[in-house]
């Protein structure tokens, strides 16, 4: 094994079995798990984000699980800083650590770093906020489409949910207006050397099989009390953290916009779409070692040890 510590990252779409594999790896290497699933950061969200069970959390030390509130401001940059600091401590105990999650941007932030953006005049942010208060999301969407059509189309295809996120959209427009350049022109330029070696394991499945796993998981979530969890969060439904699959659809039911059966089917459909977008992101990462989710653990471990040498 090389002198540098090693971060083994487990990625893949939702419902593929990442948590179970991460725990087996953590037990094998006697190390900890850094979670980079951005939906599992929030204390108030448990069932709908598939937070590891108490038994799973007890099986290996976990970090960044339900560590903040839906009311807290927390960015991918905050996570990058805190995760790297935590890894620095953990590597002193064990030169191998595990990271797991389905949030591609957060995985990349830890492994490679975020892109650098120039400072923007605060007056531009104020003017965007003022215009947004009058014209809402359509203003932000139309402005991004005009100033950075390439990034708009990319987002539309890979992560359309982002186009419904006011904070993210304001940031995109702010950079475009503040620099006079497309937001996308600042992406992919930063080269960051990390003090650890990175190995990525990807789990995948045939589309139909993954869809069945997703549908089954949603049924289990409903049986576990997802509707009550969402009902309890209804007063805070405008929080950005709650603008996500599994919550939005049940808010629609509570608002009497659809039946419960329709809401459940919409959760399944939108989760399948979410999984497809996750795989689109991850497949762009060339260094991933892909395994079928049903691969025998011993076989996977053998391949992993070859890469650790």
C-alpha 226: how far from chain center: 20
Would you say how long the chain is, in residues?
309
Binding residues for ATP: 12-19
Inter-CA distances, 65 with 12, 119, 167, Å: 18, 31, 23
Inter-CA distances, 46 with 42, 56, 98, 100, 303, Å: 8, 14, 22, 17, 33
Binding residues: 12-19
Cβ atoms of 147 and 202 within 8 Å: the answer is no
Binding residues for substrate: 14-19
Angstrom distance (rounded) from CA 30 to CA 192: 28
Nearest to 128 by CA among 118, 115, 116, 141: 141
Cβ atoms of 278 and 107 within 8 Å: the answer is no
């Amino acid at each position: 094994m090389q002198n540098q510590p090693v971060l083994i990252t487990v990625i893949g779409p939702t419902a593929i079995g990442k948590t179970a594999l991460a725990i087996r790896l953590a037990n094998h290497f006697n190390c900890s798990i850094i979670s980079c699933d951005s939906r599992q950061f929030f204390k108030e969200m448990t069932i709908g984000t598939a937070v590891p069970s108490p038994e799973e959390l007890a099986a290996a030390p976990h970090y960044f699980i339900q560590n903040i509130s839906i009311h807290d401001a927390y960015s991918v940059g905050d996570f990058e800083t805190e995760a790297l600091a935590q890894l620095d401590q953990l590597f002193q105990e064990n030169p191998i650590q595990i990271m797991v999650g389905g949030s591609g941007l957060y995985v990349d932030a830890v492994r490679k770093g975020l892109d650098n953006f120039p400072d923007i005049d605060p007056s531009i942010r104020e003017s965007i906020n003022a215009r947004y208060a009058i014209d809402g999301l359509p203003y932000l969407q139309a402005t991004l489409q005009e100033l950075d059509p390439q990034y708009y189309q990319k987002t539309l295809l890979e992560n359309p949910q982002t186009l419904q996120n006011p904070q993210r959209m304001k940031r995109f427009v702010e950079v475009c207006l503040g620099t006079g350049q497309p937001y996308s022109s600042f992406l992919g330029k930063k080269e960051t050397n990390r003090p650890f070696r990175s190995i990525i394991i990807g789990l995948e499945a045939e589309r139909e099989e993954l869809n069945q796993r997703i549908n089954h998981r949603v049924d289990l979530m409903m049986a576990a009390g997802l509707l009550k969890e969402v009902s309890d969060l209804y007063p805070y439904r405008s929080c950005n953290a709650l603008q996500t699959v599994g919550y939005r659809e049940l808010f629609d039911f509570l608002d009497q916009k659809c039946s419960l059966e329709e809401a459940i089917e919409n959760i399944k459909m939108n989760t399948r779409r979410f999984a497809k977008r996750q795989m689109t992101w991850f497949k762009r990462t060339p260094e991933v070692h892909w395994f079928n989710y049903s691969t025998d653990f011993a076989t996977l471990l053998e391949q992993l040890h070859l890469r650790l040498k």
